[in-house]
Amino acid sequence: MDDLSRALRAHPFLHDLEPAHVALLVGCAKNVRYRAGEYVLREGDDASTFFLVRHGTISLEVAVPGREPVVVETVGPGDVLGLSWMINHATTHLDCRAREAVVAFSLDATCLRDKMNADHHLGYALTSRLLERAYERLARVRLQKLDVYG
């Protein structure tokens, strides 16, 4: 468990989180791997997992009938995937596919929400980080839309 704690703390999303909070997250986390072309998440799936990407890239895609999927964004090492997990009963709105071999931490949403409810300092720390990532992602999407319509 100490190795997992060290590896979690090394991820940019958690690097400055208090060690006691990282220790709480260890119980929610596991290492996962995906092969190139394999789906990490599918549109309509329960948003029950949060990913911290360690290696590889994942494309966030929108299915378009009769065409190839449109890649909305690509996330890579140090990024996060699955921002909807904080909301009970939320579903995934995009397909997320490994563009190359991916290694990530997978964190169970129910476990995370329970720990955040039990420790409000942890809840605040994670929520503020997630809001920052959501804001950054929305800003990138806005710029992409301007480029498409420009």
What pLDDT tens digit does each residue of the chain (150 aa) get?
Answer: 578 999 999 999 999 999 999 999 999 999 999 999 999 999 999 999 999 999 999 999 988 899 999 888 899 999 999 989 988 889 999 999 999 999 999 999 999 999 999 999 999 999 999 999 888 878 877 766 665 555
CATH number at residue 91: 2.60.120.10
Give the per-residue pLDDT at 6: 92
- Residue 125: give the domain boundaries: 2-109+116-149
The DSSP secondary structure of the chain, one letter per residue, reads -HHHHHHHHHSTTTTTS-HHHHHHHHTTEEEEEE-TT-EEE-TTSB--EEEEEEES-EEEEE--TTSPPEEEEEE-TT-EE-GGGGSTT-B--SEEEESS-EEEEEEEHHHHHHHHHH-HHHHHHHHHHHHHHHHHHHHHHHHHHHHHH-
Q: Contact, 96 vs 45, CB < 8 A?
A: no
**Count of domains forming the chain:** 1
Contacts of 71 (CB under 8 A, 6+ apart): 59, 60, 61
SS3 47: coil
Q: What tokens were used for 17?
A: 């989180």
Give the per-residue pLDDT at 137: 79
Is the pTM for the entire model greater than 0.75? Answer: yes
